[in-house]
Amino acid sequence: MIDQSQQNSALRVCLEDVGTHNRAVLDFFFAKLGQHTFRCVDSQVEANVLIIDYDFPPARQRYESEYQEWQKPAIILSISEVSLDNVIWLPKPLTSRSLLDAAASVRALLKVDVSDEAIEKLSNQKIAKNIESFVAEKPVSLQRPVIKKAEVLVSVPLVNKAEVVEETKAVDYDTQSVKQSPVNLPVEKNVEPSMPVKTSLTDQQQAQRWVELCGDLPDFDVSANLVSMQAEESFFISSVKDAVRLARQCQQGVLLNFPQAKIFVLPEIHRIFCTVSIDGPDFIALIRDCNSGDGGKMHILSTPEIHELNELISNQSTSLYDLESFVWTSALLSAHGLLPRDLDPNKVVGLKHWPSMTRVALFPHIMPIAAQWAAQGMNAFDVAKTLNVPQRYVFSFYNAANTLGLIEMDPEKLIKKQSTTRKAEAPRGLFSRLLKRLVGG
Amino acid sequence: MSTANKKIIFTGPVGSGKTTAIRSISDIEIVTTDEQASDMTRARKESTTVAMDYGMIKLGDTERVHLYGTPGQERFSFMWDILTEGGIGLVLLIDNSRKDPQQDLKFYTHAFRDFIEAQQLVVGVTRMDTHRVPNVQDYRDWLDQLKITAPVFEVDARKREDVSMLMQAMLMSLAPGAEIL
Ligand SMILES: Nc1nc2c(ncn2[C@@H]2O[C@H](COP(=O)(O)OP(=O)(O)O)[C@@H](O)[C@H]2O)c(=O)[nH]1
Ligand SMILES: [Mg+2]
C-alpha cells in the first residue's frame, strides 16, 4: 500500500494538462532539486497532489468537471492569478523555490484537510469515470509556437554574404514608411587580438584608421598641463550636435548644410544620411575644413527637401548611417585622441550605458575600457593605467561616449554604482579563453 | 570537471533570434535537445523533448562552453531557474518588430531577475534592420526604469560578429580587465 502519512516523504504528484515542454522541464526538476520533495506518478489515483497547467487550453474546463471532484490539493501553474479552494497558485515563470514552497503548503493542506485515506477512498470511486475521460482526451497535443504572417512583415533584402561590401547600400527612405530601411553592414575581421574590427581593410589600413579615429599621441604625464591634452571642440561636431538636438526636439528631419556635404538628421528612424562617406578622406577633410563662414546652417526639412532626400537615398549608393554611429565617428575624427575642454581626465566618471558596440566604429581596447568604466567610477588616467592601455584610446572613448550622452558625471550616482558592484568571483581563466575564441573567430 | 558553470543562456520571445544566434556562434550543428531526457531519472512513455536549443563552443581540446536557448512561448517556458543554474550569464534577445518590446524586456528581465542580479545580462535588439523604432536609447531608458544595468546592442542574430560582441560584453562585464589569453 502507498505510504501516505510521512511528512518527510515525497509528495506524489500527477501532472495534468502540462504540455510536453513543461513536463520535461518539471521532470528535470523532479529528478534533481525536487527529488526529495516530489515523486512523479502516472495517475491521479496514486497521487496526493495534482499539478495543473491552467494555461493549457482545456485545463480550466477540466478543472471544473473533473479535477475538483477528485478533491486533491492542486498546484496550479498559470500566468494570471487563480484563486480556488484547495488550490495553490504558482505564477509563471516558475522557480524551483516557489515549487518547493508550494510543496510545504500542500503538506499543510493535507494535514488539516480530510485525511489522505479519505481522499483516496473518494477518488477511488471515481477512478473508472476519470480514467475514461482522461484517455478520451489524451494525447494532449503540444502547442507549437506559430509565427503569424502578419508578424513576419515586409520582405527585406537580406544581406547576402557575397554582396557584403564596405559601403552602405541605397535605401528607400520614405517618411511614411521609414520603418523598413535595410542597412548593409560591413564584414568584420579581427586584426588586433583585443578587439574585433569591422571592415575588410588590410592591417596597415586598419592601423591608419585607428590613427585617424584616436590620434597617435603618446601618453601624457598625469601631472601635465590639461591644455596639452584638450582641444577646442571642432565646428563640425558642435554643428552635428546642434542639428541632432534640434531634430530630436521637434522630431523632424533636419538638414545641416556644408558646401562639401549635406547631412540629414532623421530622428524618427534614428539615422543620418550624409552625402559623403564617413569612412573616407573626404569626411576627414570636411571636419578639418568646414567653418561657420560658409556652412553649418541648419533647418527643418521642407517638403521638397524630403523629396530630394528620398531621391538621394534611392539613387546614391552612399550612406545612411545609424545616428549614434555617425555622431560617434564624427566625435572621434574631430578630436584625434584629445579631450574636449569640458572633459577632465582627473575627474572620476562612469559609463551609464554602453554604446551599441556592434554598430559604432571600433578601436583597440574599446571593450575593456567600456567594461571597466561601466563597472566602476574612475578617472580616465586610472582607466588607462588599470587596463594598461594607451591613454588616447581611453580619451577617445571618453569623448565619443560623452558626445552620445553615455557618461555619468554625477558623483552621487557613481557612489551608488560602486556599492552595488558584484561580489561573486568570475572564473577569469575560462573567460579569457572564451574571449580569445570569440575575438579570434 | 563541472559543466554547470560553463553555460550561457539565450532567451527572448519566439522569433527573436535565439536559435539563429546560437547557430551563428556554435562550433557544432545546433541541436534541439532531447538530451535532457536522458538526464532524467525516469523516462516517460511519450518522448519528452525539451525543445531547447543547444550549441557549444569548444575551447582547446577539452573545455566546452554550452549554449542554451530557452524553449517555446512564454507560457510554455517556465522553471527558468533550472536552466540558468550555474550559468555564466544571460543573453536576452528582443525582437524589435514585436508589438510591445518594452513589455517583452520587462517580462524577461523579471523572469530572470535572480540570475541577472547574480550574473550578467546583455540585451541584443534584433530586427532593427527592418524596424528602427524603438531605438537603442529607448531600451537604455527602459532598463534604467527597471533599475537594471546591462549593455544593449543592436544585433542581427544572423551575424556571428554581432552575437560574439554581445557575449564579449557579457564576459568583460563580469570580469573587467580580463586578459585575453
Ligand atoms: N531581418 C532580420 N531577421 C532576423 C534577425 N535576427 C534573426 N532573424 C531571423 O528571424 C527568424 C527567427 O529567428 P529564430 O532564431 O528562429 O528565433 P527564435 O524563435 O528566438 O529561436 C529567423 O529567420 C532569423 O533568420 C535580424 O536581426 N534581422
Ligand atoms: Mg528557436
Contacts of B135 in chain A (CB under 8 A): 270, 323
Domain count, chain B: 1
- A327 and A186 inside one domain: yes
Alpha helices in B10-135 (DSSP H): 18-25, 35-39, 80-84, 101-111, 113-118
Residue contact A55–B75, C-beta within 8 A: yes
Sign of CA dihedral A105, A108, A113, A115: positive
- CA A245 from chain centre, in angstroms, equals 25
Closest residue in B to A433 (Cα–Cα): B181
The answer to whether A273 and A321 are in contact (CB under 8 A) is yes
- A110 and A217 inside one domain: no
- Please indicate, yes or no, if residue A233 is contained in any of the structural domains: yes
Ligand nearest to the CA of B13: 1
- Please indicate, yes or no, if residue A311 is contained in any of the structural domains: yes
Side chain identity, residue B112:
F
- A190 and A115 inside one domain: no
| Contact status of A157 with chain B (Cβ, < 8 Å) | no
- Please indicate, yes or no, if residue B181 is contained in any of the structural domains: no
Give the mutation target among B20, B31, B98 for probing the ligand 1 site: most ligand atoms within 8 A of CB. Answer: B20
Between residues A183 and B166, the one the model is more confident about: B166
Question: ipTM of the predicted structure?
Answer: 0.89
Cell for A211? 590613427
Question: Is 50 exceeded by the pLDDT of residue B92?
Answer: yes
Domain that holds residue A225: 175-420
- A370 and A226 inside one domain: yes
CATH number at residue A50: 3.40.50.2300
Between residues A173 and B123, the one the model is more confident about: B123
- CA A184 from chain centre, in angstroms, equals 21
- Please indicate, yes or no, if residue A35 is contained in any of the structural domains: yes
Exposure string (b/e) for B138-174, b if CB count within 10 Å is 16 or more?
bbbebbeebebbbbbbbbbbbbbbbbbbbbbbbbbbb
- Please indicate, yes or no, if residue B180 is contained in any of the structural domains: no
| Contact status of A184 with chain B (Cβ, < 8 Å) | no
pLDDT value at position A132? 32
Residue contact B78–A196, C-beta within 8 A: no
pLDDT value at position A317? 52
- A207 and A97 inside one domain: no
pLDDT value at position A417? 63
Give B81 to chain A, closest Cα distance, Å: 6
Q: Which of A104-108, B111-115, B123-127 has the lowest mean pLDDT?
A: A104-108
Ligand 1 site, residue B18, Cβ cutoff 6 A: yes
- Please indicate, yes or no, if residue B126 is contained in any of the structural domains: yes
Cell for B40? 532524467
> Residue by residue, what is the 3-state secondary structure of A223-289?
CCCHHHCEECCCHHHHHHHHHHHHHHHHCCCEEEECCCCEEEEEHHHCEEEECCCCCCHHHHHHHHH
CATH number at residue B79: 3.40.50.300
- Please indicate, yes or no, if residue A155 is contained in any of the structural domains: no
- A198 and A129 inside one domain: no
Residue from the list B60, B76, B152 with its beta carbon closest to the beta carbon of A143: B76
| Residue whose C-alpha cell is 511519450 | B46
- Please indicate, yes or no, if residue B139 is contained in any of the structural domains: yes
- A182 and A131 inside one domain: no
For every one of its 441 residues, what pLDDT tens digit does chain A have, with 9 covering 90 and above? 444 444 457 899 988 888 766 777 787 778 777 888 888 888 888 888 999 888 877 788 887 777 777 778 889 888 788 888 888 888 877 777 888 888 888 888 887 654 444 444 434 433 333 333 333 333 333 333 333 333 322 222 333 333 333 333 333 333 333 333 333 333 333 333 344 445 578 889 999 999 999 999 999 999 999 989 999 999 999 999 999 999 999 999 999 999 999 999 999 999 999 999 999 999 999 999 998 887 889 999 999 999 889 888 887 756 899 999 999 999 999 999 999 999 999 999 999 999 999 999 999 999 999 999 999 999 999 999 999 999 999 999 999 999 999 999 998 887 766 655 555 567 778 888 898 888 875
| Contact status of B166 with chain A (Cβ, < 8 Å) | yes
- Please indicate, yes or no, if residue A383 is contained in any of the structural domains: yes
pLDDT value at position A144? 31
Q: How far apart are the first and last CA of chain B?
A: 21
Question: Is 60 exceeded by the pLDDT of residue B136?
Answer: yes
Domain count, chain A: 2
- Please indicate, yes or no, if residue B114 is contained in any of the structural domains: yes
- Mean pLDDT value across chain B: 83
Question: Does the bond joining A139 to the residue before it have cis omega, within 30 degrees of 0?
Answer: yes
Closest residue in A to B159 (Cα–Cα): A187
Residue A408: helix, strand or coil by DSSP?
strand
Domain that holds residue B108: 4-174
| Residue A102: count of CB within 10 angstroms of its CB | 23
Smallest CA separation from ligand 1 atom 13, residue: B17
Q: Which of A6-15, A64-73, B39-48, B122-131 has the lowest mean pLDDT?
A: B39-48
- Please indicate, yes or no, if residue B55 is contained in any of the structural domains: yes
Residue contact A371–B176, C-beta within 8 A: yes
Q: Which of A91-105, A331-345, B65-79, B103-117 has the lowest mean pLDDT?
A: B65-79
- Please indicate, yes or no, if residue A432 is contained in any of the structural domains: no
Kindly report whether the global pTM for this prediction surpasses the value 0.95. no
Residue contact B50–A25, C-beta within 8 A: yes
Contacts of B154 in chain A (CB under 8 A): 322, 356, 358-359
Ligand 1 mean position to A359 CA, how many Å? 18
> Under 8 Å CB-to-CB from A397, ≥6 apart: which residues?
A366, A369, A370, A373
| Nearest of A200, A216, A236 to residue A331 by alpha carbon | A236
- Please indicate, yes or no, if residue B52 is contained in any of the structural domains: yes
Q: Which of A109-113, A234-238, B21-25, B118-122 has the lowest mean pLDDT?
A: A109-113
